[in-house]
Amino acid sequence: MTTQFKHILVGVDDSPDALLAFKYAIHQASQDHAELDIVSVLENQAINVYQALTKDFIHGKREELERHIQGYAHQAIAAGVHPVHTIVVEGEPGEAIVGDVIPQIHPDLLIVGSRAKKGVSRHFGSQAAYMAKYAPISVLVVR
């Protein structure tokens, strides 16, 4: 018996592992005719104290990230996945996804890459492990 998912959440950050996770999420969503949510996390740790005090800087970074993940959404739509939604949250990736995103959108599968591209979550292995341990849903870690 195979599981069919109805609502898939995928984390993206442009790392090679996250790009593989995204491709897998498109495949799975297409196969299952599932809804796809694409999440990216604006990490506060990657912003210095002076930047954090400048609301325009954070607002600009968030808008830049929101525009960037629209590219992922267009790829998913072009592959025949629908509906597709994008989400940008702030904070530590594992905690933000498990504590904020999952309870709000109620997916039944989370797909993430094992390593991140930059910043503190370059050690995304620990973030992926956190999500696999604490997420109340199935988690697929891709590398």
Q: Which pLDDT score is estimated for 48?
A: 45
CB 37 within 8 A of CB 87: yes
Measured CA to CA in angstroms, residue 50 lies from 43, 46, 62, 103 at distances of 15, 12, 16, 32
Q: Output the furthest CA–CA distance in the chain (Å, rounded).
A: 54
Give 115-134 pLDDT, tens digit per residue: 765 554 444 458 999 999 99
Write down the H helix ranges in 33-137. Answer: 49-53, 55-78, 93-96, 102-105, 124-134
pTM over 0.95: no
Give 37-83 pLDDT, tens digit per residue: 999 999 765 544 444 444 444 456 889 999 999 999 999 999 999 99
Q: Which domains does the chain have, with CATH numbers?
A: 7-142 (3.40.50.620)
